[in-house]
Structure 1
Amino acid sequence: MKERPILFSAPMVRALRAGTKTQTRRVVKDRHIDAAPPACFFQWLRERCPYGQTGDRLWVRETWQHSNFPLGPYDESCTVFYRADYMDDPHGPDGEKSPEGRYRNWEPSIHMFRSASRILLEVTAVRVERLQDISAADAVAEGIARDGDGYERFHVDPDAPVGQSFTRNPVLAYRGLWESINGVGAWDKNPWVWVIEFKRVEGGAS
């Protein structure tokens, strides 16, 4: 069993903690993949997934800060703060809506230390497919946000207020999520993606 880091945005961290996200898709970066390879190539590619294989573990990196900041470096005795926990703050997660303006100084997720991570995932399956081949059930497993007024409605725009800009098509909602992360038009490129399925296990900070 190997452990590897993996980055998630604050909304996806919230979905992980709520148990609504059990899959993630990441673009395959292999120059041979678009040559319509035979099935054996997909097996070869799957075995080289940079996020591991079944049974391996992924520790989540997220936007964070520590109690020694700004007077000293992080150490394992620090209290750790996570941006995902401030998404519902009326002043905004960065304090941008407060009278003082931006007053929270976050560390990017890429700089998170293993000991500061609070979420540990175990890989349960890995496969390769085209992005647009995602099923409705898999779109839901990606942790797309549900509309507050109905279980079967999902946000097309992840930043839209509850009750606005929603759809009953989870794939369309996932398209909105994908483009919010990868840019407008990223869905239409229909890249090959790693599909990593996982479950939460003990071993994070909390």
Structure 2
Amino acid sequence: MTKIIERGMIFNSEMVRAILDGRKTETRRPVKFPLIDKNMGCELAGNELAGELAAGNHWNSPFGKPGEHIWVRETWAEAGASASELLLYRANYPEHVPPHYENVPPADEVRWTPSIHMPRWASRITLEITCVRVERLKSISDEEARSEGVVQLREGFWKHYQPGWTQHQLSARGAFATLWDSIYGFGEWDRNPWVWVIKFKRIEGDGHATD
């Protein structure tokens, strides 16, 4: 039986909660240029890479191809000697802790380990890639922005709302634009870079997809 290839990917706590809630089913990551074709040894332009992926050639994708797995790296901690088998996860702590554990410390008293230092054995979420493509960042639709995990607040505003937004910006797409700039730097949305679009479904430990 062929072993499924797995790769780790960092998600912040907000996006981990969106995955757990079933709201996040895709993620976008910048394409890092210059990109050297692994097969031909020459540089690839964004449109050339898009053409390769559209033709089913995922050779140059650093995130894998459909059917391969991503394990989620998130902020975490080991509970300690009193509960050596228990792992803590910042994204939904302490809600995820089983009720039979008593005297759970406040979140600000836990010695959290950054997501970049999470080993594979500590990861609780595995994703199966269903689609990989590249496109310009601003190609994202309102529906796709929702699939990125942005949420609408009770007041009708979208999270990451900024005062002065126009009516066009009062949307899931507008919220995603602000979220993108908060992660990658002000002005990156307007720069409209090439991005990897990775669609996925969450799977359980037995390899079956969740509903």
Q: TM-score, normalised by structure 1?
A: 0.75
Give the C-alpha shift of residue 41 in structure 1.
Answer: 5.0
Question: Residue in 2 aligned with 1:67?
Answer: 79
Question: Residue in 1 aligned with 2:139?
Answer: 133
SS in structure 1 opposite 2:62?
coil
SS in structure 2 opposite 1:129?
strand
> Which amino acid in 2 is paired with 1:140?
R
**Aligned pairs (5 A) from 1:103-118:** 103-118=109-124
> Which amino acid in 2 is paired with 1:30?
F
Aligned identity (percent) is 44
Question: Residue in 2 aligned with 1:155?
Answer: 159
Question: Residue in 1 aligned with 2:100?
Answer: none
Count of aligned pairs: 178
Give the C-alpha shift of residue 87 in structure 1.
Answer: 8.9
C-alpha separation in 1, matches of 2:86 and 2:49? 50
C-alpha separation in 1, matches of 2:94 and 2:136? 32
Question: Residue in 2 aligned with 1:196?
Answer: 198
- 1:78 to 1:140, Cα distance in 2 relative to 1, 3 A: same
Question: Residue in 2 aligned with 1:49?
Answer: 61
1:78 matched to 2:85? The reply is yes
C-alpha contact (below 8 Å) 1:4/1:59 kept by paired residues: yes
SS in structure 2 opposite 1:140?
helix
SS in structure 1 opposite 2:60?
coil
Deviates more, 1:191-200 or 1:44-53: 44-53
Q: Deviations over 1:23-68 (max 9, x none)?
A: 0000111314557548645558743211110000111000011023
Give the C-alpha shift of residue 146 in structure 1.
Answer: 1.8
> Which amino acid in 1 is paired with 2:203?
V
C-alpha separation in 2, matches of 1:194 and 1:38? 10
